[in-house]
Amino acid sequence: MTEKAEDGTRGADTAALAKGGRTNFFGFVLRLLARLPFLFIAGQLYGAEALGRFAYATMIVELMAALATIGLKRGLAKELSKGDRPESHVVGDGLVLAWMLSLIGALIMIALPQIVFPNSKISGLDRIFPLTAIFIVGSDVTLAALAYRHRVGATVTARSIVEPWVLTIFAAALAFIPEWKPDAMIIAYAVSLGAAFVASIVPCVRLFGLPRGWRPHPVRLFRMMRENLPIAGADAIEWASRRIDLLILGQFATPAVLGIYYVAQQVVTLPQKLKVTFDPILAPVITNGLKQGNSSVIAGHLRQVGFWILAAQIGIALSLGMTGEAVLDLVGEGFGSGTMILNLLLLAEIAYVTGAVAETCLVYTARHRNLMLSVATLGVQVGLTLAFIPLFRELFPPESPDAAVNGIAPAAALLASGLFATVVKSRLLRTTLGEPVSGWRWPMLLAAGAAFAVGILVQRYLVAYWELVLGLPAILATYGIVLWYRGFEEEDRLLFAGRDKFRNDPEQS
């Protein structure tokens, strides 16, 4: 490939990544606007205990769904890039495989409902709740297929508009029907997942068409499953690393404390989605780059996306963290005791960004070593969580809220394991590609310092209401303005461009 053609390819890829990033940021804002009302409704109308029970049940079902997806959220791009058969047939194979595995998992949980609802009475629709995993994996596969063709708008529609708003509306409506209220959040969750699946499958069929002439092939499905096992393992471990804290905490804390931790975790998962939604956009760029042997181009894209995500994560962490008590108090009385948990979880997301971006490439270039590092990261997290819980109980005075004593320990362990993952995975990828992959730039520190100074003034002079109305936007705006003028380069501004500049002028890449 000539240098000019290589620059043109890189420019087109950067433009596609920027377009996906713009769409994903818009989706993040929509998800934020929808998720906060749900947390408010859940906290005010259901309480921390009911929210904790709901959190544990959804966590278990989502874990099973993550395993059943068998790495197809990233592995599907590799299958589609082969080009050896119609794309609709590949998508059909992926759906059948994921549905088969999720149905097996759901049937096991239906037979043993205590897995989903431990130390809790099984009633109403609880027993069939695991069947919702079918909707989760269906959406994952179809949205991954759409993202391969850079159609990320469907992800925003399904995951940032349909799913959260249907959940919020149904949870609010069913809370006022006494006979439905015990199952209300579970029903609302199931309906929201079903609606999101419809919003995913419809554009997928429109783009790829129905798989005419296709029939499921057991040998082909088994081969796909076998090839994706390392990716599936990495995906499952990454998912578990974001939920194992809740699982362990459930063994040591009351449902009320679990509910407080869940609310803090849900606020943090909003910026986490910024990274997750880049995975299917990066996947085809990486797989095509590997086919062409362009390690430097791949590393450049990873640094670019890593910078975008880090920049967004730091700004969001500062604005949400420095107004954290006001944000959590919106949910209900007592939730403000989770402020320290919220801040630690936000720092953990920042710590893990570079490792997570590196893993996006490692699942193709060093699958088995990446899997071993993921297992080691999870081991560090579990070990530190179990060690920190009794330690923090000794360190904190007896009058401290349970949420502070029990919840800070797993959050601190997640932060430490995130740092560990970033160091080992970024070093491994740098060795593999022969290029640096970190998206860190020093101007981010200058922007964070300016925003922190504004945050101190906000905390000192504004009451809770005005912290949210004026303070939070002021912190975010300060950070954004400083970073725009001191940290952004020409390529970075594509994220906010009204058109894909590189398509018109590839020489600038």
HEC-encoded secondary structure of 228-288: HHHHHHHHHHHHHHCCHHHHHHHHHCCHHHHHHHHHHHHHHHHHHHHHHCCHHHHHHHHHH
pTM for the structure as a whole: 0.74
* C-alpha gyration radius of the chain: 22
Distance CA 75, CA 174 (A): 39
Residues of the chain above pLDDT 90, percent: 29
Taking the C-alpha atoms of residue 239 and residue 233, their distance in angstroms, rounded to an integer, is 10
| Confidence band, pLDDT 50/70/90 cuts, at residue 455 | very high
Q: 200 pLDDT exceeds 80?
A: yes
**Nearest to residue 344, comparing CAs of 412, 290, 283?**
412
Give the pLDDT confidence score for residue 77 in this predicted structure.
75
Q: Which of 123-127, 250-254, 346-350, 495-499 has the lowest mean pLDDT?
A: 495-499
Average pLDDT over residues 253-264: 79
Any idea where the domains of the chain sit in the sequence?
Answer: 3-441+487-508
Q: What is the mean pLDDT of residues 224-248?
A: 76
Rounded to the nearest 10 degrees, the angle between the axes of helix 339-365 and helix 324-331 is: 100
pLDDT at 454: 96
Give me the pLDDT at residue 6, please: 52
**What are the pLDDT digits (tens) for 136-158?**
999 999 998 898 887 878 888 89
* 507 — pLDDT class (breaks 50, 70, 90): very low
